């Protein structure tokens, strides 16, 4: 009798026929063995597990937003896209080279490296539907049972791209998770097309940059989800943050109106106002340059927060009030905002709010003396 070398060997000999079968092809990724496959959510639910020593705690707000996205598919029939999930097998399972299939016993799991919030959203929708199903059966609401059954079937059949690292350990998982979530993410052509599935301000930012000449003077990196190349003034994510600050007076994390459902009229109206905002901004600030503090990320968000208050003094966007407030900009000494090493030392939110407060106080105390166009004030 051959000795048992691992838990996988033991399970494969004692529980033949009960393994979970995962079709896929082996490859080498960053020097490690990986399996690439596409799985229905029903099978993916059965093979993954969360290791909290590798993963951060779930952010409920992020899960709720992803739930809304999944419901676009179930309730409204819209196509949705999710980046692939990355798992780590930690040596579990066995791969059949001839059949190009990977086998996991029922007690073996793959650990999530990237995709925790996506999987949590799908699981929450599944559990909600299962609860609704039980209540509908209790009440003998058979039409409702049939409706929920169809949604559950769609959810279980939803295909998710999966990459499984077969031979990395927990320390390597933590490093991989850190790299994935900190480095800028380049967006391929297929993802650029799928941007029409995004939320209101994401669609608005894309159309603003792609369709309006004013943004030619503010080169924006549309090929990175995070960060920007050296030749760009703005990052795609920064344009979204500026728009949220301008139209809501909030930071991105607190946005209220960044939903999936909106009218074309609403989008066109906001785009027209955004074009006016950036056109006027270019008139009163120095020529865009990454070396100019006023064009830095934190200052641009702070300016949008301040100018929101001025533009919406009458509870609706007012071009005259906005332009009047912008006339203070040439008089601001940007170098006085941060003292010593505050620009590098303070947390991002603190830097934004410090800049906003400086601009707000400067305007309140100086605009009557520095802005001479009295007719604009009315």
Task: Tell me the DSSP string of 246-298.
Answer: HHHSS-GGG-SS--S---HHHHHHHHHHHHHHHHHHHHHSPSP-TTSGGGSHH
Comparing 11 with 47, the larger pLDDT belongs to 47
**In this structure, are residues 110 and 49 in contact, taking their beta carbons and an 8 Å threshold?**
yes
265-289 per-position pLDDT tens digit: 999 999 999 999 999 999 999 999 9
94-130 per-position pLDDT tens digit: 888 888 899 998 888 888 888 889 999 999 999 999 9
Distance CA 75, CA 72 (A): 6
4-33 per-position pLDDT tens digit: 444 444 444 444 457 888 998 888 877 788
Instruction: Please report, for residues 41, 133, 141, 150, the alpha-carbon distance to residue 147 in angstroms, rounded to integers and kept in the order given.
Output: 19, 9, 10, 5
Q: What is the CA radius of gyration of the chain?
A: 26
Distance CA 236, CA 223 (A): 8
Distance CA 190, CA 203 (A): 16
Mapping DSSP to helix (H, G, I), strand (E, B) and coil, where does residue 28 land?
strand
Q: What is the pLDDT of residue 17?
A: 52
Residue 342: how many CB atoms within 10 A of its CB?
12
Mapping DSSP to helix (H, G, I), strand (E, B) and coil, where does residue 334 land?
helix
Task: Please give the span between the terminal C-alpha atoms of the chain, in angstroms, as a whole number.
Answer: 94
Q: What is the pLDDT of residue 195?
A: 47
Rounded mean pLDDT of the chain? 85
Q: What is the pLDDT of residue 193?
A: 41
Q: Which among 54, 68, 174, 48 has a CA at the least distance from the CA of 119?
A: 48
Global pTM? 0.60
Comparing 83 with 308, the larger pLDDT belongs to 308
**In this structure, are residues 321 and 311 in contact, taking their beta carbons and an 8 Å threshold?**
yes
Please give the helix or strand (H or E) that residue 299 lies within, else none. Answer: helix 297-311
Burial class, 14, CB count within 10 angstroms (exposed 0-12 / middle 13-18 / buried 19+): exposed
Q: Which among 325, 251, 333, 246 has a CA at the least distance from the CA of 286?
A: 333
Share of the chain above pLDDT 90, in %: 49
Residue 317: pLDDT over 70: yes
CA 160, 165, 170 angle in degrees (round to 5)? 115
- DSSP structural state of residue 86: E
Chain-centroid distance of CA 316 in Å reads 29
Q: What is the pLDDT of residue 10?
A: 43
- DSSP structural state of residue 315: S
pLDDT band at 228 (very low <50, low <70, confident <90, very high): confident
Distance CA 122, CA 129 (A): 11
Distance CA 105, CA 368 (A): 75
- DSSP structural state of residue 4: P
Over residues 296-309, mean pLDDT: 96
């Amino acid at each position: 009798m051959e000795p048992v070398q691992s838990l996988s060997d033991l399970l494969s000999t004692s529980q033949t026929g009960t393994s979970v079968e995962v079709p896929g092809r082996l490859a080498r990724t960053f020097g490690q063995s990986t399996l690439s496959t596409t799985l229905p959510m029903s099978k993916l639910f059965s093979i993954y597990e969360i290791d909290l020593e590798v993963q951060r705690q779930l952010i409920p707000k992020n899960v709720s937003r992803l739930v809304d996205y999944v419901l676009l598919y179930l309730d409204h029939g819209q196509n949705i896209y999710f980046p692939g999930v990355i798992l780590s097998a930690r040596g579990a399972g066995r791969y059949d080279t001839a059949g190009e299939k990977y086998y996991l016993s029922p007690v073996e799991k793959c650990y999530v490296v990237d995709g925790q919030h996506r999987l949590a959203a799908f699981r929450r929708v599944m559990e909600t539907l299962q609860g609704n199903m039980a209540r509908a059966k209790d009440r003998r609401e058979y039409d409702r049972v049939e409706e929920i059954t169809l949604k559950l079937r769609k959810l279980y059949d939803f295909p998710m791209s999966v990459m499984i690292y077969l031979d990395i350990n927990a320390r390597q998982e933590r490093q991989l998770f850190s790299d994935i979530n900190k480095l800028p993410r380049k967006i391929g052509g297929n993802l650029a097309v799928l941007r029409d599935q995004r939320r209101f301000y994401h669609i608005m930012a894309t159309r603003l940059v792609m369709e309006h000449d004013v943004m030619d003077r503010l080169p924006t990196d549309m090929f990175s989800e995070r960060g920007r190349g050296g030749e760009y003034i703005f990052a795609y994510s920064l344009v979204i943050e500026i728009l949220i600050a301008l139209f809501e007076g909030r930071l991105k994390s607190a946005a209220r109106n960044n939903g999936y459902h909106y009218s074309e009229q609403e989008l066109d109206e906001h785009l027209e106002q955004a074009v006016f905002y950036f056109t006027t901004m270019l008139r009163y600030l120095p020529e865009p340059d990454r070396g100019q503090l006023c064009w830095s990320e934190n200052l641009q968000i702070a300016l949008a927060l301040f100018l929101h208050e001025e533009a919406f003094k009458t509870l609706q966007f007012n071009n005259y009030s906005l332009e009047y407030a912008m006339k203070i900009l040439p008089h601001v000494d940007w170098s006085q905002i941060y003292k010593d090493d505050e620009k590098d030392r303070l947390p991002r939110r603190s830097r934004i709010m410090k800049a906003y407060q400086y601009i707000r106080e400067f305007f309140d105390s100086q605009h009557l003396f520095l802005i001479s166009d009295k007719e604009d004030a009315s």
